[in-house]
Structure 1
Amino acid sequence: MNSNPNLAEVAALIGDPSRAAMLISLLGGKTLPAGDLARSARISPQTASTHLAKMVKGGLLMQESFGRHKYFRLASSEVGHALEALQIISPPKPVRSLRESTQLHALQFARTCYDHLAGKIGVALTDRLLELNLIEKSGSEFILSAEGKTRLHNFGVAVEKSPKSRRCFARQCLDWSERRYHLAGSLGASLTKRLFELKWIENFPDGRAVRVTDAGIKGLFDEFGLIINAD
């Protein structure tokens, strides 16, 4: 028999400011070295190592070793989904510099939420898929229409759920900055992967904000009728 989930233990792990900062740094689905995570949390490598070990043991992170270097990533898409949901109910932090303001604006415009597209562009693209009747809402999930399966398959997106995957296929993920839903799950991840492959979106050098390229502005309009105004 399974016991009740130990919410207090997970909340305590996430609740430490340094650990929260490192988790947010990994929310874009990247695998980062311990040194980078220490810098993101503004703590010493030794202190970061202790925090990271606790989060690995607690099931929030996965660790990979390459020689003497240790790399970390979120343990699963469920961890990413939980972190995104927590940001929705979290009070805003004060913006103290122009650099922070610029970074926040970029995140709100377009970012990766674990491995799928979020922010203003992620929500707008999801809205267009709904308007085109390529997907439709069903409870807390999206489902593909017959036309959607054909269109997205031809676009290069995996439209069948892997029989071995326990991951949700097309989840409605509430966006913390837009307060509306974007497309998550394996379908959202495959669509985002395809946008990266086409170079319609690309990562900024630091963080998890993404930029819509000129090719992406044209391509998203031609393919889905999505109009993007440069901010």
Structure 2
Amino acid sequence: MLKPVESVDDSHALEHAMAAVAAAMADPSRVKMLCALMDGRAWTATELSAVADVASSTASAHLSKLVSSHLISCLSQGRHRYYRLAGQDIAELLERMMGISWRSPSAARVTTPPSLRHARTCYDHLAGEVAVDIFDAMVKQAWLTADGTVLTDYGHRQFAEMGIALNRKTRRKLCCGCLDWSERRFHLGGEAGAAFFSHAERQGWLTRVTGFREVIITSAGRLSFKKWFNNVQSAVRSGPGSGDD
């Protein structure tokens, strides 16, 4: 039996839409811009043109294509225009694509900068060695269920004791495992992951490297992670660029 015409049309429309998104990402300069925006912050066109190493006029054309494909959004503030990823779902798509792109784990470990592997942002939450070790510790200590998809009652109490307030009214998943592209293991995503990162940043447990996705775990952060997560080694030791002895 033939499918109704409208179903065929819908299927074709979806296929064309998917092809358009793929085409928007199929350019090294645009990929560089998208990767830069993975730090969760808004960037100007000038900053993104520098990241992509292209002229301002070329950057403008690239940004226009990314906006029209709904991969990024543009915010005007005064005379300035800022660009950021269109949402958490786009960040998750990019993170998964990074993982797919590194088919060989050994190749990823050799070519990925140590500082980026150690700790970095994944849009609005923590990624890298430190993040996956903290995720594993949360599962082991029963903050999370065994599959890492649910924050347990004990986990809720621990978050509250840590001083982290979770937004229970958000449409976003409260908790989920986000596959880390460099470590091939999960780190904490969802509302809980974002809230944990924001809290750690406010407490001075970590600092961002301006203009990059790298994150530096401070001495205060190492002490706090040692306290809460039973001596997670990657978080306790000084990471690349920490400046500690």
TM-score by length of 2: 0.84
Q: Tell me, which stretches of 5 or more residues in structure 1 are unaligned?
A: 93-100
CA contact (8 A) 1:158 1:187 kept: no
CA deviations 1:111-143 (Å, max 9, x no partner) are: 0100000000010110111111011144xx611
Shift of 1:91: 4.2
User: Larger radius of gyration, structure 1 or 2?
Assistant: 2
Aligned pair partner of 2:136 in 118, 123, 127: 127
Tell me the residue number matched to 1:98.
Answer: none
Q: Secondary structure of 2:237's partner? A: coil
Provide the C-alpha distance between the structure 1 equivalents of 2:39 and 2:79, rounded to a whole number of angstroms: 25
Aligned pair partner of 2:215 in 199, 210, 215: 210
1:4-19 alignment, distance < 5 Å:
4=11, 5=14, 6-19=17-30
Structure 2 residue 53 is the aligned partner of structure 1 residue 36: no
TM-score by length of 1: 0.89
Paired amino acid for 1:111: R
Shift of 1:169: 1.7
Tell me the residue number matched to 2:237.
Answer: 229
Runs of 4+ in 1 over 6 A off after TM superposition: none
CA deviations 1:170-229 (Å, max 9, x no partner) are: 121110000001110111000111100110010012301100000001111112212322
Paired amino acid for 1:125: I
Identity %: 34
Tell me the residue number matched to 1:145.
Answer: 152
Q: Secondary structure of 1:206's partner? A: coil
Paired amino acid for 1:152: F
Q: Which moved more, 1:71-80 or 1:52-61?
A: 52-61
Q: Secondary structure of 1:135's partner? A: coil
| Alignment length (residue pairs) | 218
Aligned pair partner of 1:195 in 196, 200, 209: 200
Shift of 1:160: 4.8
Structure 2 residue 173 is the aligned partner of structure 1 residue 168: yes
Aligned pair partner of 1:113 in 115, 118, 122: 122
Q: Secondary structure of 1:62's partner? A: strand
Tell me the residue number matched to 2:37.
Answer: 26
Q: Tell me, which stretches of 5 or more residues in structure 2 are unaligned?
A: 1-5, 104-110, 240-245
Tell me the residue number matched to 1:155.
Answer: 162
